[in-house]
Amino acid sequence: MTRKVLLVPCALLLAACAPQKQTYKAPPPPVPETWNTGLPASEPAGAASPADLKWADFFLDDRLRQVVKLALDNNRNLRLAALNVEKAQALFRIQRARQFPTVNAGATGDAYRIPRDMTSNDKAYTYETMQIGVQVSSWEADLFGRIRSLKQQALEQYLATEQGRISTQLALVSEVATAYLALGADRDNLRLAQATLDAQKATYDLVRQTRDKGLKSDLEVSQSQSQVEAAQVDVVRFTGLLTLDENALTLLVGAPVPESLLPRELGPAEALKEVAAGLPSGVLLRRPDIVSAEHQLKAAYANIAAARAAFFPTIVLTGGGGITSSALSQLFSPRALTWQFAPQITVPIFDSGIRKTNYQVAELDRDAAVAQYEQAIQVAFREVSDALSQRGRLLEQQSAQQALVNTLGETYRLTEARYKAGVDNYLSVLVAQRSLYAAQQAMVGIRLSRLGNLVILYKVLGGGA
């Protein structure tokens, strides 16, 4: 008994050598307070905070909303992310259950016979034993928080996985919208190429007819025909791109997209709601990928606490109780009561530095989690700064490009009129046609970039799921 009592002060003495407890504290964001865009800060009218803006409110086009909803229901990557969340939740429940004792109930019966050849009085004997009881299996009394720390680690990993699912969903919404807009832009390009082809064919027929009357040369006919063939090449090219765009959208959605939901054209900028970005960089802390990284950091701190608890004694309680008797008639009598209680304390003394090394590994994992958390913030800061920088310049570029299209359209109209009046040659018309067509295609590309930039802003600012 004296030896058992001496174990307690020894255990306390050894526990004093344990590392100091570490309290979680979020690292300060390693980025400036404001975005680095190279442009004066400005907010479009009616802009909303992206983290508070649900995707159904961000997309104002009803068909696009239906396509996104279809993707959320069918996309396999999102489904896999949801399964990972369920798995992490189940692991957390398992770890939480370790805080409580495991209780088992059972009944046993035993009968055996001793033959008379093995008895002293040459008579056979039969013995029977029946037992009903409840047993508490090796329950660890979590006095120093080891199991609680492991439960907290499992909880933080579950929360990190949930934020990972939200991040996957946000990325999917962004990718679907980008593919949808690209399909609309290529349909605009195809429509523009087809309209150009029709106009070139009409011009070619006119030039050929005037050549037949001796008013135009074969060179002008050849020049006009080359324009028809160039437009035909673009029609074929954009027709092929439409197929690729539809295939990409179908893969993202995870199911065939009905034709009625596909975009007929690239919609206006008003098809997407403007998002506010004139906020301090601390808004990044609400991004799901950064929240996930912070939960992983908290899990690393909990793992340190569990490694620290290994320096303290482990107390395990095992016990049980029930009734036992050799006769069924006496099984439920007070004399049949039986119980067992077996406490066990394990005091760590010498383990060749395993506990200390495990603690050091846990600290290194914590430091790595800090680096990953800070890196996630820095990457997010750059993504937002780049997107904001592009937003201001795309608005200016779109305005300038529209002015260029208007000017080239007027130039083409005047040049064609001069050619038909016989004042100018056909080369001037060709130059004006090519310039106008290129400017119109560039305008479609800028509009696509402008809408795509809004989608990117919504994503990188942590748009609400």
What's the angle, vertex CA 177, arms to CA 174 and CA 183, rounded to 5? 140
| pLDDT score at 292 | 92
Which residues, in sequence order, are bridge partners of residue 339? 321
Q: Which of 275, 190, 261, 265 is nearest to 453 (CA)?
A: 275
**What are the distances in angstroms from CA 361 to CA 300, 367, 451?**
10, 10, 47
| pLDDT score at 5 | 47
| pLDDT score at 442 | 94
Q: Got the DSSP string for 253-284?
A: HTSPPPGGGS-SS---GGGB--B---S-GGGG
- Does residue 4 fall inside a structural domain? no
Contact assessment for residue 169 and residue 207, using Cβ atoms and an 8 Å cutoff = no
Query: 124 is written with which tokens?
Result: 């056979």
Q: Are strands 314-325 and 337-346 parallel, antiparallel or unpaired?
A: antiparallel
- Does residue 7 fall inside a structural domain? no
Side-chain half-sphere CA neighbours of 327 within 13 A: 4
| pLDDT score at 15 | 54
Kindly state whether residues 241 and 124 are assigned to the same domain.
no
In the chain, the number of structural domains is 2
Kindly state whether residues 184 and 270 are assigned to the same domain.
yes
Kindly state whether residues 299 and 319 are assigned to the same domain.
no
Kindly state whether residues 260 and 409 are assigned to the same domain.
yes
- Does residue 465 fall inside a structural domain? no
| pLDDT score at 326 | 62
- Does residue 74 fall inside a structural domain? yes
What's the angle, vertex CA 296, arms to CA 293 and CA 298, rounded to 5? 115
Kindly state whether residues 186 and 281 are assigned to the same domain.
yes
Contact assessment for residue 61 and residue 271, using Cβ atoms and an 8 Å cutoff = yes
Q: Give the number of other Cβ atoms within 10 Å of residue 302's Cβ.
A: 24
Tens of each residue's pLDDT in the chain, 465 residues: 444 444 455 555 555 556 767 788 888 888 887 776 665 555 565 566 777 788 888 888 999 999 999 999 998 888 888 888 888 888 878 888 777 777 777 777 677 777 766 766 767 667 667 677 667 677 777 777 888 888 888 999 999 999 999 899 999 999 999 999 999 999 999 999 999 888 888 877 777 777 776 766 777 778 778 888 888 999 999 999 999 999 999 999 999 999 999 999 998 877 888 777 666 777 788 889 999 999 999 999 998 888 888 888 877 777 776 667 666 556 566 666 777 777 777 778 877 888 888 889 988 999 999 999 999 999 988 888 888 888 878 888 999 999 999 999 999 899 888 877 777 777 788 888 889 999 999 999 999 999 999 999 888 888 776
- Does residue 264 fall inside a structural domain? yes
Domain that holds residue 244: 18-97+145-311+353-460
What's the angle, vertex CA 12, arms to CA 11 and CA 18, rounded to 5? 95
Contact assessment for residue 303 and residue 22, using Cβ atoms and an 8 Å cutoff = no
Residue linked to tokens 């928080």: 145
Of 329, 347, 365, which marks where a domain is finished? 347
Contact assessment for residue 149 and residue 303, using Cβ atoms and an 8 Å cutoff = yes
- Does residue 1 fall inside a structural domain? no
Kindly state whether residues 271 and 232 are assigned to the same domain.
yes
**What are the distances in angstroms from CA 330 to CA 129, 172, 335?**
11, 70, 8
> Which CATH number goes with the domain that contains 304?
1.20.1600.10
| pLDDT score at 3 | 47
Q: 394-424 b/e with 16+ CB inside 10 Å = b? A: bbebbeebeebbeebeeebeebbeebeeeeb
Kindly state whether residues 85 and 112 are assigned to the same domain.
no
Kindly state whether residues 177 and 251 are assigned to the same domain.
yes
- Does residue 307 fall inside a structural domain? yes
Kindly state whether residues 275 and 364 are assigned to the same domain.
yes
- Cα separation, 150 vs 299, in Å, equals 9
3-state SS assignment for residue 423? coil
Kindly state whether residues 281 and 221 are assigned to the same domain.
yes
- Does residue 201 fall inside a structural domain? yes
Of 347, 363, 395, which marks where a domain is finished? 347
Contact assessment for residue 297 and residue 114, using Cβ atoms and an 8 Å cutoff = no
Of 294, 325, 347, which marks where a domain is finished? 347
> Which CATH number goes with the domain that contains 327?
2.20.200.10
Kindly state whether residues 125 and 41 are assigned to the same domain.
no
Kindly state whether residues 244 and 131 are assigned to the same domain.
no
